[in-house]
Every structure is written in structure tokens, then in C-alpha cells.
């Protein structure tokens, strides 16, 4: 968390646009449990790792889990598998919703034609 806070302090981006709940405090609070601020720290860490690994997402995600000197590529593969599963589920839900909407429209047209 110290490293993430240091990244926040040296970052030149304008954080005034962030909702207040996402903005880290200027002094580090080691007992911080606010998930919103921790999410900002996680994003800063991931951005730093992406920069360190020249945009290689697998290495950056692996380093997020295993550290920059020892990226855990199996962890990255697991993250990839979960992302693909979620994408497949969302695609199926979208297809079902589209079919349901088409069926509903068809029934409404049949009812109004009678």
C-alpha cells in the first residue's frame, strides 16, 4: 500500500475529477479499509505494472499477484479464463434477451393484427 500511495503522490494527473470516495488521502493510512480508495490504489498499481511490462497484460496481471520480479503467469491465465467465462455468459444472456424481445414483439404484432 505504501508503494501505491507513493504512485498516487507522484502522479501528475488531475484527481480532482475523481469522486471524493475514490480519492486517496494525502497522508497514508495503513489501516485503510475503504474499498473505494483501495480500488484507486489497485488501478494505480496495475497502471504502473502495465508501464513496467510495456503493456503486456499477462505479465502485468501476473506481477500484480506475484510481484514485479516474479510474475505469476498461472494467476494471469486464471484471470484470463475467468474473463473469457464472464464474456461468454454475457454474450449468452444478451442473445437470450434479444430472442425474448423478438418473441414479445412478434406476439404483440399478432395480437394487434387480430
DSSP codes joined into one string, the chain? -HHHHHHHHH--S-GGGS-GGGSPPSS--TT---HHHHHHHHHHHHHHHHHHTTT-HHHHHHHHHH-TTS--HHHHHHHHHHHHHHHHHHHHHHHHHHHHHHHHHHHHHHHHH-
Statement: residue 32 has pLDDT above 80: no
pLDDT (tens digit per residue) in 33-45:
788 888 888 899 9
Q: Cβ–Cβ contacts within 10 Å for residue 28, how many?
A: 14
Distance CA 35, CA 47 (A): 18
Distance CA 112, CA 65 (A): 58
Query: For the chain, what are the domain ranges?
Result: 1-52
Q: What's the mean pLDDT in 14-38?
A: 81
pLDDT (tens digit per residue) in 47-96:
999 999 999 988 898 898 888 888 888 887 888 888 888 999 999 989 88
Residue 46's pLDDT is: 92
Residue 22's pLDDT is: 84
Amino acid at each position: 500500500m505504501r508503494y501505491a500511495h507513493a504512485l498516487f503522490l507522484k502522479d501528475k494527473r488531475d484527481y480532482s475529477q475523481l469522486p471524493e470516495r475514490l480519492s486517496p488521502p494525502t497522508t497514508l493510512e495503513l489501516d485503510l479499509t475503504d474499498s473505494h480508495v483501495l480500488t484507486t490504489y489497485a488501478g494505480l498499481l496495475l497502471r504502473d505494472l502495465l508501464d513496467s511490462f510495456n503493456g503486456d497484460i499477462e505479465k502485468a496481471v501476473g506481477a500484480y499477484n506475484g510481484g514485479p520480479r516474479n510474475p505469476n503467469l498461472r494467476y494471469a491465465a486464471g484471470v484470463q479464463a475467468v474473463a473469457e467465462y464472464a464474456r461468454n455468459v454475457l454474450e449468452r444472456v444478451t442473445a437470450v434477451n434479444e430472442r425474448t424481445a423478438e418473441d414479445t414483439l412478434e406476439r404483440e404484432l399478432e395480437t394487434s393484427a387480430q
